[in-house]
């Protein structure tokens, strides 16, 4: 996961992209049933459709195994620093797997005109 802050531009169509890896190898996301993205421990997005935003993970859409693309510019997010957690669910992990590490993913949310 990134060590630099991810930028979200409110009102824009930018994406924040991540490659999920296990032991240095991109994971196969084909069996995922859901992804949750939490900002400051509050669920911002729950997505169950792999090929549609706000979170895409279908390899045919993202072009790469293990890649997740988040489009968050239209979400109701307060500007400023945020900490995010990305959680994936599949048949083997019905309670979810947290991919963002102990300290979360650092995000910074800015207004579209910034």
The full set of domain ranges for the chain reads: 6-110
Counting every residue written for the chain, the total comes to 114
| Cβ atoms < 10 Å from Cβ of 62 | 19
Q: What is the pLDDT of residues 22-67, one digit of tens each?
A: 888 999 999 999 999 999 889 999 999 999 999 999 999 899 999 9
Element (H, E) at 96: strand 93-98
The domain made up of 6-110 is a member of CATH 3.40.50.970: no
Predicted confidence at residue 35, as pLDDT, reads 95
Please state the pTM of the whole predicted model. Answer: 0.87
């Amino acid at each position: 996961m990134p060590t630099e802050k991810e930028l979200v531009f409110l009102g824009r169509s930018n994406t924040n992209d991540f490659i999920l890896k296990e032991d240095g190898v991109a994971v196969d996301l084909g069996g995922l049933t859901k992804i949750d993205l939490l900002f400051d421990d509050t669920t911002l997005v729950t997505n169950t459709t792999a090929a549609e935003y706000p979170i895409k993970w279908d390899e045919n859409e993202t072009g790469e195994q293990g890649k997740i693309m988040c489009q968050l510019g239209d979400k109701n997010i307060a500007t400023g620093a945020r900490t995010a957690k990305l959680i994936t669910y599949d048949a083997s992990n019905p309670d979810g797997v947290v991919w963002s590490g102990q300290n979360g993913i650092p995000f910074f949310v800015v207004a579209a005109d910034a």
